[in-house]
Amino acid sequence: MYTLYYMEGSCSLATLSVLNEIGVEDVRIIDKEKVAEYKSINPVGAVPALDDGSTVWREGAALIIYLLDKHESNMLPENGDARQSAIENIMFANATMHPAYGRLFFLNQAVEDDQVKLDSMAKATNMINDLWKAVEKELQNKVYLGGSEPSAADFMLAVYSRWGEMFPVDIVIPPKAKEMIASIISRPSFIKALDMEKTEL
């Protein structure tokens, strides 16, 4: 059994969706806010964290790569350029797009002056919009970043795309990227993950 520590709507949603997508049924999820000493599980306090029965693994991108390797999923080819491309896309989502959205959360919490906050968020939003343009370029001749079938990076980006709704910003997601996101969030694996978070199975 896997135990996944999560926070509703956070990046852990991507890990849970990937677990569902690859057909892993034996998963228990626990809201980190209900764990009194969560930092004993993950010292930095972040989600996701995954207990596989013998080891607790941390960091969302690393977890996803671990799971896709362990369960031999087509979302992560075994070798060659296709594998490197899949990892590159995962890293783009995790290390480039995720921090770009993270700036909005930081500014919302750290900046007290309303006008300064709005101006700073506008600049952060411009950076996010540029990143979505890069995604759009990658999707010109394919449905998903992985090609004709969803990749882990698509799930990650779909989760992050939902965060813009929390802020007074105008994030522009181009047509192909928007179609990819719509396809991902309508998949049974994603819908199941959302339901699991609400019921904490």
Q: Which CATH number fits domain 2-74+188-199: 3.30.420.40, 3.40.30.10, 3.40.50.1360, 3.40.50.970?
A: 3.40.30.10
Write the DSSP symbol of residue 86. H
Q: Where are the domains of the chain?
A: 2-74+188-199, 80-185
- In contact, 158 and 190? CB cutoff 8 Å: yes
Residue 29, classed as helix, strand or coil, is strand
Structure tokens at 51: 């207990």
pLDDT digit string (tens) for the chain, length 201 residues: 999 999 999 999 999 999 999 999 999 999 999 999 999 999 999 999 999 999 999 999 999 999 999 998 989 998 899 999 999 999 999 999 999 999 999 999 999 999 999 999 999 999 999 999 999 999 999 999 989 999 999 999 999 999 999 999 999 999 999 999 999 999 999 999 999 999 865
Q: Which CATH number fits domain 80-185: 3.40.640.10, 1.20.1050.10, 3.30.365.10, 3.30.230.20?
A: 1.20.1050.10
Partners of 58 in the β-ladder:
49
Structure tokens at 128: 């996010």
